[in-house]
Amino acid sequence: MTMQEPTAAPDRFIRLLDKSIQKQGLSLRDVARKVDVSIAYLSRLLRKQRGLPADKTITKFEQVLEIKSGRLFDAAQRHDPLAVRVFKNETARSLVNACEQLTDEEIDKVLKEAERLAKKYHPEEK
């Protein structure tokens, strides 16, 4: 019986994770402890010997390494829990579809307007 090698996490995910660890100036041991994974697992992940971690672990990496929420999920080519919730809402999905043809500048304008409306109708939330 042959053993199949695990599929490595995407390069973009590994690069962002590694760059963020270096930027924070943390050792692999520190990161592993704070994220609650073994140092061996983290080391193998960075050496492309492990696949993607569970969503909960990716979220912890983002928090510990101060990575903007969702960026590691994007690099993993996986939706973060917030995106999953949003896409289940048909109206939100329609909004995303409507933005598909917009330029980056136009999307920035839509985002600013959405943030303004969110603050207007939900001033107590961030």
Give the pair of three-digit tokens for residue 33.
Answer: 């402890």
pTM for this one? Answer: 0.72
Are 40 and 95 spatial neighbours (Cβ–Cβ below 8 Å)?
Answer: no
pLDDT digits (tens, 9 = 90+) for 96-123: 888 889 999 999 999 999 999 999 999 8
Q: How confident is the model at residue 5 (pLDDT cuts 50, 70, 90)?
A: low
Q: Is the dihedral of CA 64, 65, 66, 67 positive or negative?
A: negative
All domains in the chain, ordered by first residue:
11-79 (1.10.260.40), 89-121 (no CATH)
- CA nearest 31: which of 48, 12, 53, 9? 53
